[in-house]
């Protein structure tokens, strides 16, 4: 532990000393066993910044565990650091720091396994270039193509193609040239404008820092020279100030400051700013930093601003130059990298996090997905793990944004699963869809309250969910009859019926069911707005969509009724003979058989159809409804 803390202090001291040097951020990507750990270890070693005691430890470890006959095993260095993280030590080993006399480097090391695509997206979004590692014996692999695609998706235009393990192909120039030719073709299709190809052996040290005597035919630079001389990508278009507010600092009554890191442009006291999305204007009063007030603060600087006016600013807002502010919109075209274990389903609601702001979002349309091997555009109804696509997104409220090409901070977002809280996608905004600004709510004079009053009732939605044959339709039908007999105005929306009309274009795949429920929920909402008591009787197998439906209604207006019938019972009833067909394989995606049913966790009402008959359940349900409203 002490060793790591010393090391951290040493790194920090080094970085302070070298503050004047330029800093290149890059990522390394490659498949498992391409030799990435060895290469990074070698870079750290050859750049002489490997901290003294780590080197000693490495030497003795290599003798004990190394696979390299007593030579230093650089893979042990990187893997050793990873082991330290597992022990809960705080150094962020995903990012490594090293430097030469010319330049400092931060390398994001992205593991090659597919499940680490998530880390890659994060690493790529802040990198100036990517080192793509290829094993000379294997050539370009699917992983190489996938990683290169992600690299280009996250705006990297400069790739260093490191063809490793040249020692294992007898330093053969033809092997190298063949791989490079293939890669250049790929790069061109991906819009990667610069490719520097280097034949090397990370293990032997050929062309990493020292030129290789074994490959005199390579006239280009070594890897380290290439990294030292690479141009650092500009921050995109020249932009005015953007400060995404991370938190509002209120230490006492007299001070209210807005803290965050300058994402673009420059903050200067006296400058006119507007706060987005509200659009309220003010002037920067002070720039407060840890070591006193600043006269200006540029990109990357963490500061706290105070404004001249008492205006509303919250976490997630963006303080921007009044003369050049980002747009605000709620519909976007964006590239998406899906990282969820369960598929992306259009219409399903996810959290979208952009900077410090979190809003609710749906993918309204997958325009196309991309085959990462061929760059071919394919039609898609859903996205599986690691697929990439171009999509339209709809947010429940407008956010300030910028095209990713112009500003990585305000153009990037992630999607988060609302149930599991897992990050399921990384995205980059392309542009706003104008439709958002063009559709306005039509103001109407007759409203829900007026419509309900004339019907003498409080409208609401009774949402029945359960397996096919559980008894939804039977019970909903009995309940509607009772309510009608009591003088209520009702309407029953039944899955079987709605699927003959409004939803006749939909089948039973997961994505079609999501759309089925989205539409019926919207219809139910309109009917409640019309003042009706609406009974919805759909299997509605997914929690996410039932939650979405609930979100459309006001407090107390959504009553979830779980028609709780075990599969075995529903199957025994088999009113329509569908279970028999499903078991015989004649119907695909049948709920409970080969398509999931996610039972409600906290329904307002649960009906046990095994213990009670339909009449009893309907009667009790109506009693409950009358008692609670």
Ligand X SMILES: Nc1ncnc2c1ncn2[C@@H]1O[C@H](COP(=O)(O)OP(=O)(O)O)[C@@H](O)[C@H]1O
Residues that bind ligand PPS (CB under 6 A): 468-469, 473, 495-496, 499, 508, 513, 516-517, 538-541, 576, 578, 587, 589-591
Question: Residues 212, 163: contact at Cβ < 8 Å?
Answer: no
CA 95, CA 251: separation in Å to the nearest integer?
Answer: 33
**How open is the CA angle 289-292-296, to the nearest 5 degrees?**
65
**CB-nearer residue toward ligand PPS: 201 or 468:** 468
Task: Name the minimum Å distance from CB 602 to ligand X.
Answer: 21
Nearest to 202 by CA among 167, 227, 177: 167
3-class state of residue 399 by DSSP = strand
**Which among ligand PPS, ligand X, none contacts residue 35 (Cβ within 5 to 8 A by kind)?**
none
- Please name the helix (run of DSSP H) or strand (run of DSSP E) that holds residue 479, with its range, or none: helix 472-485
Please report how the helices 74-86 and 52-65 are oriented relative to each other, as an axis angle in degrees rounded to 10: 100
**Which among ligand X, ligand PPS, none contacts residue 400 (Cβ within 5 to 8 A by kind)?**
none
| 472 in a known ligand binding site | yes
| 66 in a known ligand binding site | no
Task: Name the minimum Å distance from CB 614 to ligand X.
Answer: 4
- Regarding 591 and contact with ligand X (CB under 6 A), the answer is no
| 33 in a known ligand binding site | yes
Residues 530-549, mask of contacts with ligand X (x by CB under 6 A): -------x------------
Task: Name the minimum Å distance from CB 108 to ligand PPS.
Answer: 43
Nearest to 74 by CA among 88, 61, 86, 92: 61
Task: Name the minimum Å distance from CB 326 to ligand X.
Answer: 49
| 69 in a known ligand binding site | no
**CB-nearer residue toward ligand X: 289 or 575:** 575
**Which among ligand X, ligand PPS, none contacts residue 211 (Cβ within 5 to 8 A by kind)?**
none
| 486 in a known ligand binding site | no
- Regarding 599 and contact with ligand X (CB under 6 A), the answer is no
Q: Write the DSSP symbol of residue 612.
A: S
Burial, 197: exposed, middle or buried (Cβ in 10 Å; 0-12, 13-18, 19+)? buried
Q: Which residues are catalytic?
A: 540
- Of 155, 277, 471, 600, which lies in the binding site for ligand X, with binding defined by CB under 6 A? 471
Please report how the helices 510-529 and 448-455 are oriented relative to each other, as an axis angle in degrees rounded to 10: 70
CA 577, CA 565: separation in Å to the nearest integer?
Answer: 17
N-terminal to C-terminal alpha carbon distance within the chain: 62
- Regarding 465 and contact with ligand X (CB under 6 A), the answer is no
- Of 185, 376, 396, 613, which lies in the binding site for ligand X, with binding defined by CB under 6 A? 613
Question: Residues 377, 340: contact at Cβ < 8 Å?
Answer: no
**Which among ligand X, ligand PPS, none contacts residue 589 (Cβ within 5 to 8 A by kind)?**
ligand PPS
Distances in Å between the Cα of 157 and the Cα atoms of 39, 57, 193, 198 are 22, 38, 5, 17
**CB-nearer residue toward ligand PPS: 308 or 587:** 587
**Which among ligand X, ligand PPS, none contacts residue 587 (Cβ within 5 to 8 A by kind)?**
ligand PPS
Return binding residues: 30-37, 109-113, 164-167, 466-473
Report the binding-site residues for GTP: 30-37, 109-113, 164-167
């Amino acid at each position: 532990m002490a060793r790591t803390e010393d090391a951290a202090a040493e790194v920090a001291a080094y970085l302070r000393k070298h503050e004047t040097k330029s800093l290149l951020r890059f990522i390394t990507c490659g498949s498992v066993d391409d030799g990435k750990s060895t290469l990074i270890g070698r870079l750290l070693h050859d750049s002489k910044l490997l901290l003294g005691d780590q080197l000693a430890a490495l030497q003795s470890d290599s003798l004990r565990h190394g696979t390299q006959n007593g030579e230093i095993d650089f893979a042990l260095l990187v893997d050793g650091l990873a082991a330290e993280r597992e022990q809960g030590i705080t150094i962020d080993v995903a990012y490594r720091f090293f430097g030469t006399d010319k330049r400092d480097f931060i390398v994001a090391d992205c593991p090659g396994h597919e499940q680490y695509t998530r880390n890659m997206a994060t690493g790529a979004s802040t990198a100036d270039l990517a080192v793509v590692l290829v094993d000379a014996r294997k050539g370009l692999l699917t992983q190489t193509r996938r990683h290169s695609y992600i690299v280009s998706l996250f705006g990297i235009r400069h790739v260093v193609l490191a063809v490793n393990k040249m020692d294992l192909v007898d330093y053969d120039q033809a092997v190298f040239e063949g791989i490079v030719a293939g890669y250049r073709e790929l790069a061109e299709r991906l819009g990667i404008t610069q490719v520097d190809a280097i034949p090397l052996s990370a293990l032997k040290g050929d062309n990493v820092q020292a030129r290789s005597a074994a490959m005199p035919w390579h006239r280009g630079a070594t890897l380290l020279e290439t990294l030292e001389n690479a141009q650092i990508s500009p921050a995109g278009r020249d932009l005015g100030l953007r400060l995404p507010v991370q938190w509002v600092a209120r230490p006492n009554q007299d001070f209210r400051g807005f803290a965050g890191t300058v994402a673009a442009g420059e903050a200067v006291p006296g400058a006119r700013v507007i706060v987005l999305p509200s659009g309220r204007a003010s002037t920067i009063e002070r720039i407060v930093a840890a070591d006193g007030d600043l006269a200006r603060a540029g990109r990357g600087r963490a500061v706290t601003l105070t404004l001249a006016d008492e205006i509303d600013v919250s976490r997630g807002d963006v303080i921007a130059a009044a003369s050049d502010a980002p747009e605000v919109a709620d519909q976007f075209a964006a590239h998406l990298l899906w990282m969820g274990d369960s598929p992306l389903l259009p219409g399903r609601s996810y959290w979208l996090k952009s900077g410090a702001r979190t809003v609710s979002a749906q993918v309204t349309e997958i325009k196309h997905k991309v085959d990462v091997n061929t760059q071919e555009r394919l039609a898609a109804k859903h996205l599986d793990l690691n697929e990439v696509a171009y999509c339209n997104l709809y947010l429940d409220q407008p956010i300030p944004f910028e095209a990713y090409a112009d500003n990585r901070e305000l153009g990037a977002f992630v999607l988060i699963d609302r149930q599991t809280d897992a990050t399921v996608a990384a995205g980059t905004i392309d542009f706003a869809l104008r439709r958002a600004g063009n559709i306005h709510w039509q103001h109407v004079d007759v409203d829900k309250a007026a419509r309900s009053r004339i019907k003498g009732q409080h409208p609401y939605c009774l949402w029945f969910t359960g397996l096919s044959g559980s008894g939804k339709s039977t019970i909903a039908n009995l309940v509607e009859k009772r309510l009608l007999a009591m003088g209520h105005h009702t309407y029953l929306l039944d899955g079987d019926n709605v699927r003959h009309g409004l939803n006749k274009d939909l089948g039973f795949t997961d994505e079609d069911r999501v759309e089925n429920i989205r539409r019926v929920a919207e219809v139910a909402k309109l009917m409640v707005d019309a003042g009706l008591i609406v009974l919805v009787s759909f299997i509605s197998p997914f929690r996410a969509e039932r939650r979405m439906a609930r979100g459309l209604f006001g407090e107390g207006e959504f009553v979830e009724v779980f028609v709780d019938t075990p599969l075995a019972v529903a199957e025994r009833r088999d009113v329509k003979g569908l279970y028999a067909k499903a078991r015989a394989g004649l119907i695909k995606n049948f709920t409970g058989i080969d398509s999931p049913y996610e039972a409600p966790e906290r329904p307002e009402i649960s009906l046990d159809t095994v213990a009670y008959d339909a009449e009893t359940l309907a009667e009790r349900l109506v009693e409950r409804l009358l008692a609670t409203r």
